[in-house]
Every structure is written in C-alpha cells, then in structure tokens.
Chain A
Amino acid sequence: MTDATRESAPAGGGKLAEAVKESAMAALLAFVLTSLMLGVRTVDAPGGLGLQYRWHLVIGAMVIVFVGRLLLKLFWWKEDGGAPAAVGAASGRFATLTEPLRKFAAPALVIFAFVLPFLPIADRQIIDIGILVLTYVLLGWGLNVVVGLAGLLDLGYVAFYAVGAYSYALLATHFGLSFWTVLPLAGILAAMWGMILGFPVLRLRGDYLAIVTLAFGEIIRVILLNWVEVTKGPDGISGIPRPSFFGLEFKRFGENTFHNFFGIEYSSMHRIIFLYYIILVLAMITNYVTMRLRRLPVGRAWEAMREDEIACRALGINTTNTKLTAFAIGAFFGGLGGSFFATRQGFISPESFTFIESAIILAIVVLGGMGSQFGVAVAAIAMIGGFELLRNMDWVKGFVESTFGIENFDPNEYRMLIFGLLMVVIMVWKPRGFVGTRMPTIFLGKERKAISGDLVKEGEG
C-alpha cells in the first residue's frame, strides 16, 4: 500500500520483482525497528545494567515481515492497494445469511446465561469466568450509552466504576449498610459524579473530551491513592461484606444461613452461583433500561447527536441536557458494576481502577460495533473469555518454548500486547465494529439505506 503500489504495476514477472523489492524494504524497516529494542536486552548486572544480545529475534522479525508482506502483496492487496472487493462482498453475504439467525441469537444467549449454572459443564472456574464476563458486559452496556449511543468518547469510565466500588466499600464498612441498600445509592452517587465531570466538558469537541475524561479518571485514581485517611491509600479496603439472599447469609456456620433455611447441604458454590445471578440480573436490567431509553425522546436525541451535533442543535435539541443525561446514565451503570465488583472481591484498591481498565471496556464497545447491545455482549464474551483462555494455555507455552527456543515463555504476558494489536487491526479492517452495526434506531420512511451509519461521516466526535 505504499505510494509505489498506487502506480499501475507492470504485469507478470515485474509484479513479483516489485513485490520482492517492497518486502525487502519492509524487512529493512523491521530491522531498524527491532535491532535495538528486541535484539538487545538490558539486564540487571553488578554495577549497573548489562546487555544481552538476541539476534535470532531480529532475524525472526525480519523474516516474518518479509514473508508476510510478500504474501499480502501477491495474494491479498489489489493493485490500488485496498483489500479485494470479494472480501467486502463475502462479508456482506455473510451478514445477509446470518440475518435470520441474529433474531434468535440474542434470546438464545440470554437463555444460555440463565441456565449455565445448572449445566453439567459448570464448575467453579466456569462460573467465575461467567461472573467476570458479565461484569464486563454490564460495564460495556453502560459505556455503550455514552460512547455508542451519544457518541461521546469517554476514556475515564473506570472513574465511575471506582466511585461505585468505593461507595459500597466505605458505606458498608463504616455504617454497616447492606449491599442491597447501597447498590442504588452507589449508582446514584456515580451518576452524580458523571454529571459533575460531564458539566465542564460539555463544550468540548470529541477528541478533547476524550483527553479530559482520561485526565478525570486519573485524578480520581490519584485521589484514591493518596487520601489515606478515607480510602486507606494503596493498601485498599478489605473485609467488604458479602451480599445476602433476603437476609440469609452464605456462611457455613450461623443462625441465618442459606443452607439451614432451605435444609440443604452447605456448599461454597451457592454463593458463587448467587453472585452470578446478581450480576446477570443487573446486566439484564441495564440492557432493558437502555433498550427502553432508546425509544424515548432522549434516546433518539442521543443517536441524533452522535450522527450530527450541529444539525441536532439546529433542530432545537438541547445538547447540554442530552449529553448530561448520557453521562449520568452511563455512570449509573458503571456505579452498579463497581459496587458488585467490591462485594464480589471483598477487597478493593486503586490498582483495580487504572486506565487500562477503561481501555478494555472501551475496546469491548468499539469492537462490538458502537451502539449495538448484542455486539457489545459478544465482544465482552470473546475478549474476556479469550483473556482467561490465554491464562490457562499451557500448550501454547510448551509449543513456543520448543519451537522458537525462548525460555520462560508466558502467554499471559502477551495478553495486553495482543489486545492492543487487535484494537488497531479491527479498527483498520472494520471501523464500524466487528460484530454489530450502528444504524440509528428509527428512519424516515424507507430511506434506511440512504442514511445508514456506514455512509455518513460524522461532523462531530
């Protein structure tokens, strides 16, 4: 896709020669990039830093780049540099083929989620992963209101998650309030913070907004870290109470316990399954509320604002209120997720609320196709589930260690690397999201095609 390829390439052998030349250039670039960074490793040595040379990695990177570029050039890219039209057509055909399936996919997924704990495959680990995935589904849906529906890029979403978590942790440990009392309170507190943080940034355009929200997220984290009298700083808050089932606790001993009341054998699984259903119901509520909101005037206004803010203002929509409600509602769900996180872990510290958390949630929304509820859920399952799989992949470790001769290979280290790369690749390949599409909910008459999101470039972030 360089400038050279844009010019019409000579046919036949000339093309191969050109491809080889280009690939050689790419390999040379790879050499420049990797020679110092990958080829030399600084290691701790007596009296400062020592060096360790690893030229095989540089050569490996060059070979991969050369071959990859050559194959792409010969078989994938068209003369003008784009991906072959067949791919676009194929994915279009795929979309029409799966259209009827899509109708059933979402209900099937929900039913599966509800019966999962009773399936024979469900052991403790599966349920734990399920809880984690559902937490991210909830957060993804919450952020989807802000980013997907209202089109406001929020890079500090984790701040509201933190507000929710700390609200529950502090209220429960200091005042002894129960999870069910604090849950709505935490949501409202987070929503209030959403308004407070949203208010100053209303006038800002899309990308400025992103940086300011990012800065706000960092401010909240720094305060949590340093306000030791209240938050106990980096030590975090431990001993956060677990939720109860209508006053019944999930303990092995005691009067009011779940297994005593129902006269069943004690099992530590009860609490896990209970937590699983809490987060499932919370996520379902989030989904339901969002779906309903999309049909209300405010939801329509969000989508209109996402497509074109100037037109929105020209039509008399109060963009200030529209943005603030989006921030507040998104933050509310973030707060719910946060207090669930606190009660599940029993321990929270500022370390759980770093920027990378915001980035993961944002990636879920983006890869799911901003605005699509189903897409966000699928993206959360794929990404979080994928991370967990990577954590448990011993065969990858063995494979890489024996094939490439790298010692102490830990696939888990590559989690974020792959994640960052995926964000770039999917965005470049399918900017409108991998799973869903983001059409506005309503259309004027039959002009669905004419104003679909794919054809319109946004004026505003």
Chain B
Amino acid sequence: MEYFLQQLINGLTLGSIYGLIAIGYTMVYGIIGMINFAHGDIFMIGAFISLIAFLILMSLGLTFIPLALLIVLIVAMIVTSAYGWTVERLAYRPLRESFRLAPLITAIGMSIFLQNYVQIAQGARVKPLQPVITGGYTIMEKNGFTVQISNIQILIMVLTVALMAIFSWVIAKTPLGRAQRACEQDRVMASLLGVNVDRTISLTFVIGAALAAVAGLMFLLYYGVIDFYIGFIAGIKAFTAAVLGGIGSLPGAMLGGLIIGLIETFWSAYFTIEYKDVAAFSMLAIVLIFLPSGLLGKPEVEKV
C-alpha cells in the first residue's frame, strides 16, 4: 500500500510533465489538424534553454534560488516560444493549403533538424545539473517504508494545475480563445468574420511552445539530466496522452498525460522497467483502435 502510494505520487508528477507537453499537441491538432511532430523537440529545446539560463545566472552570482528559477522560467518560455513561432512560420505555414501529409513530412524534417542543431551546438553528452530544489515531506511511515513527496514534486503539480487553470480560462473567456475556437470550427468562415487566422495559429504555436518550455524546465529540475534526444520519446508519449484524452480537448490532454504517467510508473514498479516504453506505445495503439476519439474528445465527423 505504501509502495503503491509512493508510485502514485511519482506517476502523477511524471504525468503532469507529459500533460503540459500534450497540451501543445492537442491545441495545434485542434486548430490546424496536423500532428506537430517537432513539438517533442521544442520541449527538449525548452529544457536546454532552462539549463543554460540557469547556469548563466549561477555564474553571475545569483544565489537566491526562487528568483533565479523565476527568471529562468520566463527566459525559457520566451526563447522557446520564438522557436515554436519560427518552426510554424518556416515549415508549416507555406504548406497549409497543400496535401495532408506535406506538413507532417516537414515536421519530421524539422524534428531531425532541431535534434541535430542542439547536438552540434551543445554536444552529444548528457548534461547533468545538481539538485536545485531539495527537501520534502514524509506523508506516512509504516513498516519501515516511508512515503515521501519532495518539494520539486509539489512544485511540478502546483505549477501544472495553475497553468491548466490559466489556459482553460484563456480558451474559454478571452478574445484569443474565441478566435482559436472559431478557427478550429471553420477557418475560412472565421477569416471572413474578421479573425486574423494566421495570427491565431501562430499564437497557438507560441502558447504550446511556452508550455513545453515549462515542461522542459520541470523535467530538468526533476531528473537532473538532459540530452538532445529526450524530446523524441517524451514527444510520442505526450502525443499518446493527447490522443488518449481526446485530441483537441485541453482537459483531455491533461487527463491523458496523468494516465500515461501512471501507467508508465506502475509498469516500471510492478513489471519490468525495460518495457515501460512498450507499455505506453501499446496504449496508443489500443486507444486508437477501440476509442479513436479519446476519453473526452468529440467523435470526429468525416466531411466529404
């Protein structure tokens, strides 16, 4: 029971990170109906920018950790958003009216490009970071097994919930959210009614990238090591989460992320750690076959 509780906490933390990445997939898919294959690599860039910004601040002598992390968060969000915006601008916008697979193929090209760009710029070795946030609380102790929740886990979950709340509000209440939902339903009609479609789509990519940057920072702080390849696997898993929750649905992405995180953690804890990726990927196939519209998604109507 104690072991289960501990794994539950770990799984929810991991799931929060997946959920933040999954929001980027789900929003982009909702608005232009394409899988942004490079989104996992945007997350990886977010993690690297966080690492570099943090090291610079440390070398400048800023030792007050909360302030340093706040600055790192803002810098990472801005720079990573710029990457998201540029990728959309260069690789996807010119192909918006092209055939369906074209943007997917450029997305794969972009993903390969970004991975190798980071590899060349920063080197192929894993980048370690000493624990920045330490300490935690013991929830319960029984039979010599302690269930702990660390401060970083609390931070990840609180931040995720806060961001979720903010973005749900943005989508539901603000003009930008209304424009996004309008573009989602009918792009041509939205543009006829005065919605700047290009700008709305760009902003969607920017928001997705900013959330991925947050996820990147959390990943860096939680695991303490990153390399240029983390985006690939995390990207597929986050996409699985988005599909599981129902693609296009924001709460769905979060729910899917949590479920994937829990599945992966429990699989590693109770079965074999080697096959945890297989478990997550099999989940994707099973969901798509039996529940193509996901848990919270609307069934898709095929238009002719």
Contacts and interface: CB of A to CB of B under 8 A. Distances in A.
B106 interface: yes
A363 B285 CA distance: 25
Most buried by A among B78, B98, B100, B129: B100
B82 A419 contact: no
A211 B79 contact: no
Interface string B158-202: 000000000000000000000000000000000000000011000
A196 to B, nearest CB: 12
Contacts of B34: 207
B55 A42 contact: yes
Contact of B198 (A3, A36, A43, A359): A3
Interface string A419-461: 1111110011001000000000000000000000000011111
A431 B95 contact: yes
B82 A33 contact: yes
Contacts of B83: 33
A420 B110 contact: yes
Majority SS of interface residues in chain A? helix
Interface string A80-122: 0000000000000000000000000000000000000000000
Contacts of B42: none
A216 B277 CA distance: 11
Given A215-B281, A424-B113, A37 B106 contact: no
Given A362-B105, A420-B116, A206 B79 contact: no
B70 to A, nearest CB: 17
Interface stretch (A219-227, A236-244, A279-287, A325-333): A219-227
A29 interface: yes
B104 A153 contact: yes
Interface string A250-288: 000000000000000000000000000000000000000
Contact of A413 (B75, B100, B120): B120
B292 interface: yes
Majority SS of interface residues in chain B? helix
Contacts of B198: 3
Most buried by B among A38, A211, A359: A211
Interface stretch (A13-21, A44-52, A316-324): A44-52
A355 B91 CA distance: 21
Contacts, number: 187
B117 to A, nearest CB: 6
A327 B49 CA distance: 41
Contact of A461 (B79, B100, B120, B275): B100
Contacts of B284: 211-212, 215
A414 interface: yes
Interface residues of B, number: 72
Contacts of A428: 90-91, 94-95, 106
Most buried by A among B45, B114, B130, B277: B277
Given A32-B82, A423-B108, A431-B95, A204 B288 contact: yes
Contacts of A48: 128-130
Contacts of A417: 112-113, 116-117, 120
Interface residues on chain A, size class = 35 or more
A1 B83 CA distance: 18
A203 B101 contact: no
A297 interface: no
A457 B99 contact: yes
A128 B277 CA distance: 36
A447 to B, nearest CB: 20
Given A49-B128, A226-B275, A36 B52 contact: yes
Contact of A41 (B90, B122, B129): B122
A293 interface: no
A36 B79 contact: yes
B116 A416 contact: yes
B232 interface: yes
Nearest to A370: B101
A423 B198 CA distance: 23
Nearest to A202: B289
A29 B106 CA distance: 21
B119 to A, nearest CB: 8
Contact of B49 (A1, A29, A37, A41): A37
Interface string A118-154: 0000000000000000000000000000000001010
Contacts of A163: none
A214 interface: yes
Contacts of A29: 82, 86
B236 interface: yes
A64 interface: no
Contacts of B52: 36-37, 40, 42, 51
Given A41-B122, A431-B95, A200 B109 contact: no
Interface of B: 34-35, 45, 48-49, 51-53, 55-56, 59, 75, 78-79, 82-83, 86, 90-91, 94-95, 97-102, 104-106, 108-123, 125, 127-130, 198-199, 232, 236, 239-240, 243, 272, 274-275, 277-278, 281-282, 284-285, 288-289, 292, 302, 304
